[in-house]
Amino acid sequence: MTGVLQHVGDDAPPRCVHCGKQAAGPCASCHRMICADCCTLTESSVKKWAICLECDRKKGRSLGHAWGSLILWLLLPLGILAVATALVGLLAHL
Ligand SMILES: [Zn+2]
Ligand SMILES: [Zn+2]
């Protein structure tokens, strides 16, 4: 026995970081141990991921953000085009 204060043996089941129950596996996003109750399965094109509810919420938010910027990028050239067309029209009248 070298140290009693050494952390629990390898055969001790990992605990869920959210509720303290026996963990089912690590979150695919933040790699913290989570149980079946505190994770949600996400189906990507390749395989199923188990991610914790916290990451699920974050992902939802970032997805919304991505859509927002995508729309912005779609509208930006249209806006520039509209301004350019207006300018050309203005110049043609001079
Ligand atoms: Zn849990
Ligand atoms: Zn996570």
What is the greatest pairwise CA distance in the chain? 94
Q: What is the pLDDT along the chain (94 residues), one digit of tens a residue?
A: 555 555 555 677 789 999 999 998 999 889 999 999 999 887 767 677 788 988 888 876 555 667 778 888 899 999 999 999 999 999 988 7
Q: What is the pLDDT of residue 21?
A: 93
Identity (one letter) of the amino acid at 44?
A: S
Q: What is the pLDDT of residue 37?
A: 92
Ligand nearest to the CA of 38: 1
The Å distance, Cα 53 to ligand 2 centre, comes to 7
Q: What is the pTM of this model?
A: 0.48
Q: Where are the domains of the chain?
A: 25-93
Q: Which residues make Cβ contacts (< 8 Å) with residue 23, sequence separation at least 6?
A: 13, 14, 15, 16, 17, 33, 34, 35
The Å distance, Cα 57 to ligand 2 centre, comes to 9
